[in-house]
Amino acid sequence: MDWKKLFPHFEQGLIDIIEKEAVQRTFNAGDTIMRTGQYIKSTALVLEGRIKIYRENQDGGEFLMYYLGPGQACAVSMICALQSTTSEIMAVAEEKTEVLMIPVQLMDDLMNTYKGWYQFVIQTYRSRFDELLSVVDNIAFRNMDERLEFYLKRHMQNSGKKTVELSHQQIADDLNSSREVISRLLKKMEQRNLLKLHRNMIEFV
């Protein structure tokens, strides 16, 4: 594993401790990593793959918060683990995902000992906060067509690909809309030559 590429601020001593104490786990697409109401005993550093972080209401509806990719961690899980509180989010693997699980006891020690870990935690909080601000701005100030375009661009940036492999229903769920509305807006975007629609895949031109 290329530690310097994934976590460039980590000191060698920090890397040695994580390699010794952390547990590496593999999740397949669709696997639930964290549930609402679950006590968090560790936080996950993403090595490969992608994790979807969202809120779930009482009716089973979803509200997308953000995605995690390689070199990232979930700020909410860090807070819940350190404060011994239950999770208020769901975390699901979008594809085959490799993570390192850092026990809460180790996290506390690392914060006090290694500047690289401290910087990583602060940067994680800041990045997730900025993403949440973008989500709030989109809901409060943008129309659905603008929200859809922002959603697709963020997907593309996070994955590093020019395709989004999601069904119209999955996109509708993430944006708290209906499949019919999303399909209509995507068709308009295709007519403007912004993208091409395929079965369960959207290709950017």
User: Per-residue pLDDT tens for 139-168?
Assistant: 767 788 888 988 888 888 777 788 888 889
The model's pTM: 0.72
How many Cα atoms within 13 Å fall on the side-chain side of residue 152?
A: 26
What was the pLDDT predicted at 140? 67
**Which of 41, 17, 42, 21 minimizes the C-alpha distance to 116?**
17
At 184, the amino acid letter reads R
Alpha-helical regions (H) of 22-102: 75-83
Model confidence band, residue 123 (pLDDT cutoffs 50, 70, 90): very high
Average pLDDT score over the chain? 88
pLDDT at 199 over 70: yes
**Which of 60, 51, 57 minimizes the C-alpha distance to 32?**
51
What was the pLDDT predicted at 85? 80
What is 3-139's CATH topology?
Jelly Rolls (2.60.120)
Contact 98, 48 (CB under 8 A): yes
Contact 168, 183 (CB under 8 A): yes
Mean pLDDT in residue range 105-123: 91
pLDDT at 99 over 70: yes
Mean pLDDT in residue range 182-187: 93
pLDDT at 124 over 80: yes
Percent above pLDDT 90 for the chain: 42
For the record, the structure tokens of 63 come out as: 């509200």
φ and ψ of 80, to 5 deg: -65, -40
Which class is 143-204 in CATH? mainly alpha
The residues spanned by each domain of the chain are 3-139, 143-204
DSSP string of 138-150, one letter each residue: HHHH--HHHHHHH
User: Which pLDDT tens digit goes with each residue over 18-73?
Assistant: 999 999 999 999 999 999 888 888 889 999 999 999 888 777 677 888 889 999 99
